[in-house]
C-alpha cells in the first residue's frame, strides 16, 4: 500500500493550488474560500445552488459558508433569490462580475501548465484515478457524490430527449453537464445473486 506517497503528492499539489489561489488577482480581491464558493456555483445545477449544498460540497461549516456568502453578496459577486415554491429556501447565482472572477482565475494557470507537460494518455489515466479515489472516499463516508447527469441513476433518455426521473423535468444539454447534489450512481448489483 503506497498511501503515504499518494497522500504526499496530493498534499503537495493541494498546497501549490492553494498558494496559487491566494495570489490570484481578482476584482475585487477574494479569499481562497470565497473563490471556491464562486467556482462551485459556476458548476452546479438548479437543485444544488443552495447554501446547504455549498456547505456539503466544500466540507465547510455552516457559519463559514453563511459569512462568505454575505461577503460575496456585498461585493456584488452573487445574488440570492427565494425559491418560488418555498420562500424559506434561498437559491444562489453568480452575477456577471462573479462569473468573470471565476473565468479569469480557474482552473489555476499553474495546473494548466503542469497538465500541458503531460501526454494525453497520462492525463486520462490521472483523471480516471482521481475519479475512482474520490468515489471510493465518498462511499466510505456515505457522502453525496455531487456528480453530473451522465453517470446518474435518475437519467432517462428516450429518442435523444433527456429527463430526470427524480424531478420529472427535462434536461437541456447544458444541465447535463452541471454538478448535482441529488446525483446517484447506478446501484451496484455486481455482488447480488441472480
Is residue 31 within 8 A of residue 75, CB to CB? The reply is no
Residue 94, Cβ neighbours under 10 Å: how many? 21
Residue 164 sits in the site that holds ligand SF4 (CB under 6 A): yes
Please state the closest distance from residue 101 (CB atom) to ligand SF4, in A: 26
Please state the closest distance from residue 54 (CB atom) to ligand SF4, in A: 16
**DSSP class of 160:** T
Please state the closest distance from residue 167 (CB atom) to ligand SF4, in A: 6
Residue 38 sits in the site that holds ligand SF4 (CB under 6 A): no
Please state the closest distance from residue 97 (CB atom) to ligand SF4, in A: 27
Nearer to ligand SF4, 27 or 167 (CB): 167
Q: Show Cβ contacts of residue 102 under 8 Å, excluding neighbours closer than 6 positions.
A: 35, 38, 39, 42, 94
Nearer to ligand SF4, 122 or 139 (CB): 139
Q: Show Cβ contacts of residue 186 under 8 Å, excluding neighbours closer than 6 positions.
A: 151, 153
Nearer to ligand SF4, 63 or 142 (CB): 142
- φ, ψ (nearest 5 deg) of residue 158: -130, 125
Residues 103-162 that bind ligand SF4 (CB under 6 A): 149, 152, 154-155
Residues 55-114 that bind ligand SF4 (CB under 6 A): none
Please state the closest distance from residue 49 (CB atom) to ligand SF4, in A: 12
Residue 182 sits in the site that holds ligand SF4 (CB under 6 A): yes
Nearer to ligand SF4, 14 or 150 (CB): 150
Type and span of the H or E element at 174: helix 173-176
C-alpha–C-alpha distance, residues 87 and 55, integer Å? 20
Residue 122, Cβ neighbours under 10 Å: how many? 11
Residue 44 sits in the site that holds ligand SF4 (CB under 6 A): no
Cell of 56: 456539503
Interface with ligand SF4 (CB under 6 A) = 45, 149, 152, 154-155, 164, 166-167, 180, 182-183
Amino acid at each position: 500500500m503506497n498511501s503515504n506517497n499518494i497522500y504526499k503528492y496530493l498534499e503537495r499539489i493541494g498546497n501549490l493550488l492553494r498558494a496559487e489561489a491566494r495570489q490570484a488577482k481578482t476584482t475585487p480581491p477574494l479569499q481562497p474560500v470565497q473563490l471556491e464558493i464562486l467556482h462551485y456555483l459556476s458548476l452546479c445545477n438548479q437543485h444544488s445552488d443552495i447554501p446547504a449544498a455549498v456547505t456539503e460540497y466544500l466540507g465547510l461549516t455552516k457559519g463559514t459558508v453563511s459569512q462568505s456568502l454575505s461577503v460575496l453578496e456585498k461585493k456584488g459577486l452573487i445574488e440570492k433569490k427565494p425559491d418560488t415554491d418555498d420562500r424559506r429556501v434561498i437559491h444562489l447565482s453568480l452575477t456577471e462580475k462573479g462569473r468573470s472572477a471565476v473565468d479569469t482565475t480557474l482552473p489555476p494557470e499553474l495546473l494548466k501548465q503542469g497538465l500541458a507537460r503531460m501526454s494525453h494518455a497520462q492525463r486520462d489515466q490521472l483523471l480516471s484515478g482521481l475519479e475512482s479515489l474520490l468515489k471510493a472516499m465518498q462511499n466510505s463516508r456515505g457522502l453525496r457524490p455531487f456528480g453530473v447527469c451522465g453517470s446518474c441513476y435518475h437519467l432517462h433518455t428516450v429518442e435523444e430527449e433527456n429527463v430526470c426521473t427524480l424531478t420529472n423535468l427535462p434536461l437541456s444539454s447544458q444541465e447535463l453537464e452541471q454538478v448535482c447534489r441529488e446525483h446517484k450512481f447506478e446501484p451496484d448489483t455486481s455482488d447480488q445473486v441472480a
